[in-house]
Amino acid sequence: MNLDFQKDIDFGLSASKKTLPSKYFYDEIGDALFVEIMNMPEYYLTNAEFDIFKNQNQELIKALKLEKNNFFELVELGAGDGTKTKQLLKALDDQNYNFKYDPIDISENALIQLKASINKELPTVQIHPKQGDYFNVLSGLKASSHPIIVLFLGSNIGNLTDARAKDFIQKLDDNLKIGDRVLLGVDLIKPKSVVLPAYNDAQGITKRFNLNLLTRINKELDADFDVDTFEHKPEYDEEEGIARSFLVSTKDQNVSIKSLNKTFTFKKGEKIHMETSRKYNDLILNGILEGSSLKINDRLTDSQHLFADYILEKY
Ligand code: AVJ
């Protein structure tokens, strides 16, 4: 894990257009900051998807074609704190569905907290957490003879470029059986006036979330980033539907990363691309699914039509 981290940071900072992988945002501090982000008034995504899980869980169960007498596995990629999923788990548990819940997350810390909270709030739900990167855990799905329902919520797929999202869908497709389903939660393309504040909040939490990756590099790779010399700059291109976050160096400077034995030079105004947050519609999703045997069966949206949960099935 630490070797991958080292390699990925080196690769990203050595590129002519510097970039850092957003999956590394989620250390213990990053997890806590992300929980704060989900509670911010500007970050509409979480409330919108929670609205679907709370108020339309019967519709979700129906659209997913879940059957009471047929055991199934709910596999969640990037489970995080599980707030939305718990609404569905509770509905299934109350109605005596037969299932187990396998949350997967890059953050061991998030999984420990999730398991404790499920054991407490929903003690009859079987939970088997697994730590890992989405791409690497997919191959584990094939082993199951039960129907698999993959949950990939929160617009987590939005962090992938379209090319990577296509790779991911292909790999997911390769590891599912005919009839398995996917519940894919995506943020919908909408005006800049709504999207940009979600990544540029008044309290500066998103800024701290981005800067925390520099702090993590300082701690784990023995580096000397001066985080006060980087500004947070999110952008949103309404036409293509993609938000991007950058950290911008406010001066010419060198940063040394001891564990890499390297020094990286930053020009004043030079940007580090920190995150991509792609927004979706039917057309874009169908483009991503093209060439796979996953097809859209259904789509549920929140009352304000900000967010969509798509139900896909492997044919
Ligand atoms: C968890 C990837 C959906 O891109 O909206 C929130 C992460 N970054 N604020 C997103 C995030 C900044 C989030 N996802």
Q: What is the DSSP string of 147-213?
A: -EEEEE-TTGGGGS-HHHHHHHHHHHHHTS-TT-EEEEEEEBP--HHHHHHHTS-TT-HHHHHHHHH
Calculate how far, in angstroms, residue 173's C-alpha sits from the geometric centre of ligand 1.
24
Nearest CA to ligand 1 atom 13: 156
Nearest CA to ligand 1 atom 1: 156
Q: pLDDT value at position 82?
A: 93
Phi-psi group of 58: left, alpha or beta (phi > 0 → left; psi -120 to 50 → alpha; rest → beta): alpha
Nearest CA to ligand 1 atom 4: 277
pLDDT in tens, 115-151: 999 999 999 999 999 999 877 888 888 878 999 999 9
Sign (positive/negative) of CA torsion 279, 282, 283, 284? positive
Q: pLDDT value at position 142?
A: 82
**C-alpha dist (Å) from residue 178 to 48, 260, 293:** 30, 46, 9
Query: How far is it, in rounded angstroms, from Cα 103 to Cα 88?
Result: 14
Calculate how far, in angstroms, residue 277's C-alpha sits from the geometric centre of ligand 1.
6
Residues 6+ apart with CB under 8 A from 301: 52, 188, 307, 308, 309
Query: How far is it, in rounded angstroms, from Cα 270 to Cα 173?
Result: 39
Query: How far is it, in rounded angstroms, from Cα 118 to Cα 129?
Result: 11
278 close to 160: Cβ distance less than 8 angstroms: yes
Stretches where the chain sits below pLDDT 70 are 1
Tokens of 72: 């199934």
Q: pLDDT value at position 69?
A: 92
Domain 44-191+280-314, CATH = 3.40.50.150
Tokens of 307: 């967010």
| Helix, coil or strand: residue 79 | coil
Residues 6+ apart with CB under 8 A from 291: 166, 170
Nearest CA to ligand 1 atom 5: 277
77 close to 137: Cβ distance less than 8 angstroms: yes
Q: pLDDT value at position 141?
A: 85
Q: pLDDT value at position 32?
A: 95
Calculate how far, in angstroms, residue 157's C-alpha sits from the geometric centre of ligand 1.
10
Indicate the top mutation candidate among 233, 275, 307 to test ligand 1's pocket, ranked by most ligand atoms within 8 A of CB: 275
Query: How far is it, in rounded angstroms, from Cα 175 to Cα 169?
Result: 10
Angle between helices 108-121 and 28-38 (to 10 degrees): 60
Calculate how far, in angstroms, residue 278's C-alpha sits from the geometric centre of ligand 1.
10
The Cβ of residue 63 has, within 10 Å, a number of other Cβ atoms equal to 18
The neighbouring-strand residues paired with 185 are 309
Q: Name all residues whose Cβ lies below 6 A of ligand 1.
A: 37, 45, 154-156, 158-159, 199, 206, 209, 275, 277
Q: pLDDT value at position 299?
A: 98
* Element of type H or E holding 97: none
Calculate how far, in angstroms, residue 34's C-alpha sits from the geometric centre of ligand 1.
8
Calculate how far, in angstroms, residue 275's C-alpha sits from the geometric centre of ligand 1.
8
Query: How far is it, in rounded angstroms, from Cα 303 to Cα 77?
Result: 25
Q: pLDDT value at position 292?
A: 97
Say which DSSP state 96 is in.
Answer: T
Q: Which atom of ligand 1 is nearest the CA belonging to 277? A: 4
Calculate how far, in angstroms, residue 145's C-alpha sits from the geometric centre of ligand 1.
33
Indicate the top mutation candidate among 26, 34, 38 to test ligand 1's pocket, ranked by most ligand atoms within 8 A of CB: 34
Calculate how far, in angstroms, residue 71's C-alpha sits from the geometric centre of ligand 1.
33
Tell which residue, 115, 30, 29, 309, has the closest CA to residue 21.
30
Residues 6+ apart with CB under 8 A from 43: 37, 198, 201
85 close to 102: Cβ distance less than 8 angstroms: no
Q: Which atom of ligand 1 is nearest the CA belonging to 80? A: 1
